[in-house]
Structure 1
Amino acid sequence: MLLAHPALLADLVREYDSLHALDAEGGGPQARRRLDDVSYSLCVATGTRDVDAALVAARYRLPGARVHDDSLIGAPRPRTSGV
């Protein structure tokens, strides 16, 4: 599967959030159409079928989205005997 560039995903997520914050769902037909277009684009770009899954997938792919796991750094080494 081809993956969308993170910059494209960031733009789509930002635009979706802006439209959603402006309550485009209750807005005029142009605003609603743009929200539908952005939602569809997010689904296509992430390979998902609904906008909630698309937002999760897109945000996961954005830079800095994953928590760095350093749980192995500084873990005590097991002691060996007989040397």
Structure 2
Amino acid sequence: MLLAHPAVLRELVARYESLCAAAQDHAIAPDLQRRLDDVTYTLCVTTGTRTLEHALAAARARLAATAAG
């Protein structure tokens, strides 16, 4: 299985977290919802998972393994 580069995963997780923070501060505008959907989809594809929770867990585990190794 191909693995995404850690820099890509780091950027995707950061983007997701940033968008979530923005969504908490404001009503979710259609553009913000689309960007959240896009980054969620991309996280799932790059980690080979089907849910956001699994994608974030897989991305964070890979980043932790990369940092440790």
Q: Shorter-normalised TM-score: what interval?
A: 0.7 to 0.9
Determine the structure 1 residue equivalent to 2:52.
51
5+ unaligned residues in a row in structure 1: which ranges? 69-83
Shift of 1:61: 0.9
The one-character-per-residue Cα deviations of 1:46-71 (angstroms, maximum 9, x if unpaired) are 00000110000001111xx25x6xxx
Using the size of structure 2 for normalisation, the TM-score is 0.86
Determine the structure 2 residue equivalent to 1:23.
23
Q: Give the length in aligned residue pairs.
A: 65
Determine the structure 2 residue equivalent to 1:35.
36
Structure with higher helix content: 2
Q: Which amino acid aligns with 2:30?
A: P
The one-character-per-residue Cα deviations of 1:6-32 (angstroms, maximum 9, x if unpaired) are 0000000000000011117x4100000
**After TM superposition, what 4+ stretches of structure 1 lie above 6 angstroms from structure 2?**
none
Percentage of matched positions with identical amino acids: 58
5+ unaligned residues in a row in structure 2: which ranges? none
What is the Cα-based RMSD across aligned positions, in Å?
Answer: 1.8
Larger Rg: 1
Using the size of structure 1 for normalisation, the TM-score is 0.72
